[in-house]
Amino acid sequence: MQPVDFTTLMAVCAELRSDWLPARFEQVYQRDRFTLALGLRTFDRRGWLTISWHPQAARLGIGDAPPRIPDTFTFSQQLRHQLSGLALVAIEPIAAWERVVDLQFAQRPGEAALWHLYVEIMGNYSNVILTTQENAIVTAAHQVSNQQSSVRPIQTGQPYEAPSNLTNAVPTLEESIDRWQERISLIPGPLKRNLLKTYRGISSSLVASMIQAAGLEADRSSESLSSTEWQTLFDRWQEWLRTLQQEKFQPGWLPQGYTVMGWGSVQTEPRIQPILNRYYTDQLNQQEFTQLRHQISQKLTNLLKKLRQKAGEFRSRLQQSDQADRYREQADLLMAYLHEWQPGMSEITLPDFVSSKPVKIQLEPEKNAVQNAQAFYKRHQKLKRSRSAIEPLLAEVQAEIDYLQQVEVGITQFDRYETPSDLTSLTEIRDELIQQGYLEDPDQRYRNATQTETPFLRYQTPSGFEVLIGRNNRQNDQLTFRMAGDYDLWFHTQEIPGSHVLLRLDPGAAAEEADLQFTADLAAYYSRARQSDQAPVIYTEPKQVFKPKGAKPGIAIYKQERVLWGEPQRGKTYSEKTDSDRAKDEE
């Protein structure tokens, strides 16, 4: 992930000073352990200033509005208490070439700052610190004790100290090319590494784009450059310094990141802040998506393994109970042929009542015939009772297996992160599993009603009818039992876990065979039969679909169904054709 470097931070500060100073502080919301959103209002606009001290994505800039869920973090509450009613009047770096910005809050523009919010964008050591006028620390996003750092502790009540000064050379426009070249080539080595080690204020991504803009290679040895190549690289170096001095940045997208210098950009943008917001949102969403998907998949795998083992044990016990009638028949034979029994017998062979075939019966020698028969009768009754007790337990376990397999199908729909709705849908699955008691809520912030509404998957049949597909069990229930109309058709793979699919029809309209097949192919693709060549798909009217009493989310039964054979690979083709369009719409 590309970190915010000094140049990018200065570009952001220039935009903020131009567009958002002065601004009234209205609200603060802490999204997570690393991200704040400050609500600001100027004469002509309102927005949320995102401040992040994330180890990989520390940044500053206008971002998205926070979600409408309770904020339970202490840090944001302290900021709200101290900064309420004040105005953001200045945004300044605390020192040259330092990635630390001082956000100053006062009663009104032109007055002395009452509070300073220091935003330190320094990778793993990033922090946000609130101090008084006298620079006494009131609160910090991450406090550092004396035991953790004797060089620079950060604790409430102590004076704020700036980070230690860098020892590298300071870049200046006044430096001559000869002196500049001498510094870089003092110790022969790769050009990129020598630049990074020699000067402060530069980053790996900036140096790489600078060298590329000069037509050179990053691993090129400093000894091998000609005078012309040195001059070309020096021109880019001075171009960077003039950009910082004049604050005339050129934001744009790179193939693998972003730039504020315009070098190598594949698409330019008027502002850097929307670029940062989109880039880091996508990168963090990707990380969270991967971790969450792995967590849920592992949990489902373990749960299903245990449940299948338990179901196997129940079935084994049921098979044993199938012998109950045999014990009763043996007891009846013994009672009917008491005269055949002899003391000390360990087995006896008697003719079957119906077929007259010989039946060998194992006996306990110390018991007489009547006592052996009574033991058989008792065993018969015990196995009968066992069956009546095990059958509902097996049904309960099987229902859990069916439900978790349904959830598993929802997970398989998200092979990789593409749009924010993918993460939202996965989060809804996580919340559902928390509600059902299969997962713990680590933050104790679970909400019974999900605030963010994730859109259904949408497709169009050859005749132009809309097809809606549930991304998870919550959507499946909503689709089937709330949205489905009298004229629609409901699709689902037959006895195979899968998404609920709705073919929406206008009153009086009739679906063609191609429309039905198109929908069946999609239903097969969004099911556990995704890798099969064919899968049976049923369809019926929504009024013929019912939710069993007490059933878990996504579970439904149906009647008066008709069957089609869906082809998952054709459904995959339909899906791929619209995925890129959907991603563009969500952007």
Q: Mean pLDDT in the chain? A: 90
Other Cβ atoms less than 10 A from the Cβ of 429: the count is 25
pLDDT band at 280 (very low <50, low <70, confident <90, very high): very high
Please give the structure tokens belonging to residue 48: 């949320």
Of 198, 189, 55, 74, nearest to 141 by C-alpha is: 74
- Is the pLDDT reported for residue 385 higher than 90? no
- Structure tokens of 25? 């502080």
Q: Tokens for 227, please give them.
A: 């005078």
pLDDT score recorded for residue 463: 92
pLDDT confidence band for 579 (50 / 70 / 90): low
Check pLDDT > 70 for residue 334.
Answer: yes
Cα distance between residue 511 and residue 8, in whole Å: 55
The per-residue b/e assignment along 22-36, b for 16 or more CB within 10 angstroms, e otherwise, is ebebebbbbbeebbb
pTM: 0.78
Listed range (83-92, 210-219, 347-356) with the worst mean pLDDT: 347-356
With b for 16 or more beta-carbon neighbours within 10 A and e for fewer, the 435-454 pattern comes to beebbeeeeeeeeeeeeeeb
What confidence category does residue 198 fall into, taking pLDDT thresholds of 50, 70 and 90? very high
- 151 confidence band (pLDDT: 50, 70, 90): confident
Which segment, 5-19, 131-145, 407-421, is predicted with the most confidence on average? Answer: 5-19
| Alpha-carbon span 207 to 237, nearest angstrom | 9
How far apart (Å, rounded) are the C-alpha atoms in residues 209 and 233? Answer: 11
Query: Between 369-412 and 324-336, two packed helices, what is the crossing angle to 10 degrees?
Result: 170
Task: Quickly state the pLDDT bin for 319 (edges 50, 70, 90).
Answer: confident
Lowest mean pLDDT among 249-258, 365-374, 413-422: 413-422
Q: Mean per-residue pLDDT for 360-366?
A: 90
Contacts of residue 319, defined as CB under 8 A and 6 or more positions apart, other chains included, come to none
Question: In this structure, what token pair is assigned to residue 64?
Answer: 């998205």
Task: Give ∠ CA 525-527-529 in degrees, rounded to 5.
Answer: 80
pLDDT tens digits, 100-141: 999 999 999 999 999 999 999 998 999 999 999 999 999 999
For range 373-392, the mean pLDDT: 84
What is the chain's length? 587
> pLDDT higher for 508 or 278?
278
Instruction: Indicate the range of 443-457, 539-553, 568-582 predicted with least confidence.
Output: 443-457
Strand segments, DSSP code E, in 75-170 are 87-93, 100-106, 115-120, 127-132, 137-140
For the stretch 417-453, pLDDT in tens is 888 888 888 988 998 899 888 988 765 554 444 444 6
C-beta separation of 520 from 467 below 8 A: no
Q: State the pLDDT at residue 581.
A: 55
Provide the pLDDT for residue 213. 93
Higher pLDDT among residues 20 and 442, named by residue: 20
Contact indicator for 54, 64 with CB cutoff of 8 Å = no
| pLDDT score for 444 | 55
CATH topology of domain 177-271: Helicase, Ruva Protein; domain 3 (1.10.8)
Proportion of the chain above pLDDT 70, given as a percent: 96
Q: What is the pLDDT of residue 558?
A: 94
Q: What is the per-residue DSSP string for 286-339?
A: HHHHHHHHHHHHHHHHHHHHHHHHHHHHHHHHHHHHTTHHHHHHHHHHHHHTGG
Cα 284–chain centre separation: 9
Pinpoint the alpha helices (H) of 31-99: 74-83
Q: How is residue 502 written in tokens?
A: 């709705």
Q: Between 1.10.1070.20, 2.30.310.10, 2.40.50.180, 1.10.150.120, what CATH number should domain 6-140 receive?
A: 2.30.310.10
pLDDT for 265 equals: 87
The answer, yes or no, to whether residue 171 has pLDDT greater than 50, is yes
Per-residue pLDDT, averaged over 206-223, amounts to 92
Reported as a single tens digit per residue, the pLDDT across 225-234 is 999 999 999 9
| 313 or 384, which is more confident | 313
Distance CA 212, CA 233 (A): 9
Dump pLDDT digits (tens) for 485-499. Answer: 999 999 999 999 999
Give the residue among 90, 99, 96 at the shortest CA–CA distance from 53.
Answer: 99
- Tell whether the model's pLDDT for residue 93 goes beyond 80: yes
- Of the ranges 64-73, 116-125, 321-330, the best mean pLDDT one: 116-125
Spatial contact of 100 and 162, defined as CB atoms under 8 Å apart: yes
